[in-house]
Structure 1
Amino acid sequence: MEDLGFSLFSSPTTVVGAVVLLMILYLISVGSSSSEAGREPPGPKPLPLLGNLLQLDLQRPYKTLCQLSKKYGSIFTVYFGPKKVVVLSGYRTVKEALISYADEFGEREITPILEDISKGHGIVFSNGETWKEMRRFALTTLRDFGMGKRVAEEKILEECGHLIQTIENYKGEPFNTSCPVNYATSNIISSIAYGSRFEYDDPRFRNLVSRTNETIRITGSADIQLYNMFPRLVGWIKKRQVILKNVKMTKRDVKDLIKELKETLEPQTCRGLVDCFLIRKQKEEDSFTKDTQFTEENLIFSLTSLFSAGTDTTAATLRWGLLLMAKYPHIQDRVQEELARVIGSCKVQVEDRKNLPYTDAVIHEIQRLANIVPLSIPHRTSQDVTFQGYFIKKGTTVFPLLTSVLNDESEWESPHTFNPSHFLNKEGKFIKRDAFLPFSAGRRACLGEGLAKMELFLLFTSLMQRFRFTPPPGVTEDELDLTPAVGFTIPPSPHKLCAISRQ
């Protein structure tokens, strides 16, 4: 590739010839791709090499895709540069693909930047035996350490206390919700993974959280989108170098944490996920198991995936919740009235959820409107498949457009407004909605869904019991900005709130 690059720059004739050849090959592949196998999903006509790049908002591609779905339907094709992508839009289409065709749409698309980060290791960005074994292990271990059980509830409530104390220290003055909320959610997954939490002022912990948030944010930037389309042409871009540096430093810190746990490991007592992994790893080594997935690299990237997902998405959702309470004080009033009437001054527990229908509806509506992962994480077809009358080749990148599910106008009465009534019946009782899929669905659904739900409920209700959230002085509710930030996930744009103690 380096030789080709040199000749391209040294010979104008070769440049023209190479471009013409690439255009011909590209047009032939596009023109003949569906004639033999069947009808492919429609979509806007791509340009050679650039695809539909000029039509895409690379900062918020999910918005462009939603607009295109109105013209081309619930399943359509779009080209991110030379990369062909099939987009699934709307609740019924996304659900059918991920549930009824779970195997066909069940592989993970590993983009160039994700390959750079994990190299196929870990849970989230892997396929085949690595994914199957690591996901099975993580699910089993998370269940054993309390996902949905009392022990996890106790860890979350302990962290609630630390978060409340941190917010109390602001004494009602405006503060950025990002750091304290991120530290709290990071500590919950850390306590399950490592067996203990970190102090909020621990430099290593702060750096882990900061690098994680930065990496997730810039992974969704326009620069990295371009790198994913043309990895050999723009591999030099600064944001890619920042991500690689962050990954290197995080690997170093995680290795140190694993080493510390390994030195004090007692096989009869598992303190957390790392201990369980190390014990299993030793057993497989002792039995000379071939092709074991219990390797250091898989442990490191499973931990970083859990830490990233457990930190970023839950924290972003909770931050959206606090912002929405400040923007809509009448809804905050009703939540706090219900909590006072049902719970009083007692600590909220998970079992209280069934007696708090309005609060539960508000939390679900926060998740729906927050729309944290609008594109989902890209999938890939594991085989040729005919879906809704369209032929999709094996290895095709697929975007299940979650934002189109959470805002499906045929499923939600007022999809673009904050309306807790979406989850309440006429009697004021909580109701489940089929189109509520913030954690995706099928084989690749979020494995920490149960833990995340518990965290959101306990953290949100504990904060609502203790504080009233308001805009900073001089800012009205109407002036609070609900524009999402840009990133792989979409938290609120940077803002400050006041937390007025109610006790």
Structure 2
Amino acid sequence: MEVAVTGALFLLWVLFIFIFYSLKMYKEKSQLPPGPTPWFFLGNLLQKDVMPLNKNYSKLVEKYGPIFTIWMGPKPMVVLCGFDVVKDALVDHAEAFGGRINSPIIDRVTKGHGIINSSDIEWRELRRFTVMTLRDFGMGKRSMSERVQEEAVCLVEALAATKGQGFDPTTRITSAVSNVISSVIFGTRFDYADKTFLKHQRIIENEVGLFRTILGLLYSAVPKILDYFPGRHQKIFSDCDELCAFVRENVKVHMQTLDPQNIRDYIDCFLIKSEKEQRSASDTFRTENLVMTVFGLFVAGTGTTSFALISGLMVMAKLPHIQAKVQQEIDEVMSATRAPSMEDRVRMPFTNAVIHEILRYPPSINETIPRTMSCDTKFRGFTFPKGTAVAPMFTTVHRDPLQWETPKQFNPGHFLDVKGQFKKKDAFIAFSAGKRACVGEALVRMELFLFFSTLLQNFTFQLVGAAKDMDLASLFTEFRAKNVCPLMKATRRSV
């Protein structure tokens, strides 16, 4: 009898939640921009004509316009498409569109601490401190350039060891990129074969990948329900806790060996700042904020840059005429024995244009975490209440036919003037824009130029196997869907 009563009460509780959220959803729907009709409780999550957005956005724009609403379960999210709309929001209304989204996946990992999860006041302090510290460690300066150059030499050696045989470049590229940010935040680099280092890379890859899966979208919609269910997400969260524990242990060691006269890395800088702020009313520079900020920097400094660099090698392997032109420019600017430096970039307009096109062409991976409205705002005929989730689709900016001559083609000419010199494009926002723009943009740009030019100086890349017969768009679709890079071979150049 008691079991029956308990079961009945549980079913009533579940029914109440479903009805409550559904009524709330349909009430909010009437106040937001138009969009596809959501399903009961699940919203648009399982509708194949809506999700994934990067595949279906053009049809949605055609039907509803450049501003429309989709439902992530019972939660609405306004989507912004096209250069004019996204620029208007992120640049001209930067403060209003600069609120931090409450991401259940990030909240579960960081427990509300760190630069990603901080309140607005703490976020400003942590962001300002992080940007200044990265600059002090040479972001955009020669000392950081030398760090990347040294790592590029290690990467060249790792690729040379393949001896022209087919290989997946993912692990080697990710290790090199991860070592750059590791040297800044931990004060050390790791061997490419280090098992702990490789495990941490897999953890980062799985956590970032979770945002793009149906499971991740469902978790973001109803975290309190899925917290009680087994599944792959539980393993990912457990692994992230392990990585956070690794960071926490590093922080502990830094505390024990801290020498203010011999600053080694970002952690040291944070600890020194923390000691100075102990008498302040602010609790921003507490230990858990340090742990989770380092975790966030480690994840961000590994995933996006390595994806871009791998994408670049895929493009070069698929488009040998562009690869040859990059190599010709490299050979003309520097000798075979001199490593590329940041000073060379101004003399290598075609290479610079190719790197920018590598960032523009693939579907963006930066659209998984939207922003929120920091206040009630009237925008382009709509009123967005404070707290509304808003997702600017950067892919729609980089594929906007009003801004790019051949938006669906890989074309370095997008960034070259009639004289063949590099030109900036306002519609290029690979690092986001406005209040929440990427804090590590300068470092990423430096890494991409130095790694890319060094690799092309030393190797010619070719696809092997079935990938040779695929067009470039299909290669990227496969890469994004399966997160598996096609096999390629690196043939040592003799210059």
Shorter-chain TM-score bucket reads: over 0.9
Cα shift at 1:479:
6.4
TM-score (norm 2): 0.93
Cα shift at 1:194:
1.8
Give per-residue Cα distances to partners, 1:90-135, cap 9 Å, x unaligned.
Answer: 1111111111111111011122112111222112233322211111
2:378 and 2:8 map into 1 onto residues whose CA distance is 46
Give per-residue Cα distances to partners, 1:405-441, cap 9 Å, x unaligned.
Answer: 1111111111111111111112211111111001100
Among 142, 145, 149, the residue aligned to 1:150: 142
CA separation of 1:117 and 1:61: change in aligned 2, threshold 3 A? farther
> Which stretch shows the higher mean deviation, 235-244 or 355-364?
235-244
Partner SS, residue 378 of structure 2? strand
**Unaligned runs of at least 5 residues, structure 2:** none
Query: Is it true that 1:251 corresponds to 2:213 in the alignment?
Result: no
1:299 match: 290
AA in 2 matched with 1:338:
E
AA in 2 matched with 1:284:
E
1:369 and 1:416 in contact (8 A); partners too? yes
TM-score (norm 1): 0.91
AA in 1 matched with 2:490:
A
Among 296, 316, 321, the residue aligned to 2:312: 321
Cα shift at 1:280:
1.1
**Unaligned runs of at least 5 residues, structure 1:** 35-39
AA in 1 matched with 2:253:
E
Query: Is it true that 1:471 corresponds to 2:463 in the alignment?
Result: yes
CA separation of 1:16 and 1:96: change in aligned 2, threshold 3 A? closer
> Which stretch shows the higher mean deviation, 255-264 or 129-138?
255-264
Cα shift at 1:499:
0.3
AA in 2 matched with 1:314:
T
1:17 and 1:200 map into 2 onto residues whose CA distance is 52
Query: Is it true that 1:269 corresponds to 2:262 in the alignment?
Result: yes
Partner SS, residue 476 of structure 2? coil
CA separation of 1:486 and 1:494: change in aligned 2, threshold 3 A? closer
Cα shift at 1:197:
1.5
2:24 match: 26
CA separation of 1:81 and 1:139: change in aligned 2, threshold 3 A? same
1:37 match: none
Cα shift at 1:15:
7.3
1:425 and 1:145 map into 2 onto residues whose CA distance is 35
Cα shift at 1:23:
7.1
Cα shift at 1:187:
0.5
Cα shift at 1:8:
8.2
CA separation of 1:474 and 1:293: change in aligned 2, threshold 3 A? closer
Query: Is it true that 1:98 corresponds to 2:96 in the alignment?
Result: no
Partner SS, residue 392 of structure 2? strand
CA separation of 1:358 and 1:476: change in aligned 2, threshold 3 A? same
Alignment of 1:95-494 (within 5 A): 95-235=87-227, 236-285=229-278, 287=279, 289-345=280-336, 346-375=338-367, 377-472=369-464, 476=468, 478=470, 481-484=474-477, 493-494=484-485
1:19 and 1:260 map into 2 onto residues whose CA distance is 47
2:174 and 2:201 in contact (8 A); partners too? yes
CA separation of 1:20 and 1:440: change in aligned 2, threshold 3 A? closer
Give per-residue Cα distances to partners, 1:33-61, cap 9 Å, x unaligned.
Answer: 53xxxxx4222233332322343578733
2:8 match: 10
1:428 and 1:139 map into 2 onto residues whose CA distance is 34
2:13 and 2:318 map into 1 onto residues whose CA distance is 56
CA separation of 1:264 and 1:213: change in aligned 2, threshold 3 A? same
> Which stretch shows the higher mean deviation, 69-78 or 231-240?
231-240
1:60 and 1:486 in contact (8 A); partners too? no
Partner SS, residue 173 of structure 1? coil
Q: How many residues are paired up?
A: 490
Cα shift at 1:366:
0.5
1:180 and 1:494 map into 2 onto residues whose CA distance is 12
CA separation of 1:395 and 1:473: change in aligned 2, threshold 3 A? closer
Cα shift at 1:21:
4.4
2:482 and 2:407 map into 1 onto residues whose CA distance is 19
Cα shift at 1:209:
1.6
Identity score, percent: 39
CA separation of 1:397 and 1:24: change in aligned 2, threshold 3 A? closer
1:193 and 1:273 in contact (8 A); partners too? yes
> Which stretch shows the higher mean deviation, 318-327 or 199-208?
199-208
Partner SS, residue 176 of structure 1? coil
AA in 2 matched with 1:336:
Q
1:98 and 1:412 map into 2 onto residues whose CA distance is 20
1:129 and 1:370 map into 2 onto residues whose CA distance is 35
CA RMSD, 1 decimal:
2.5
1:63 and 1:243 map into 2 onto residues whose CA distance is 26
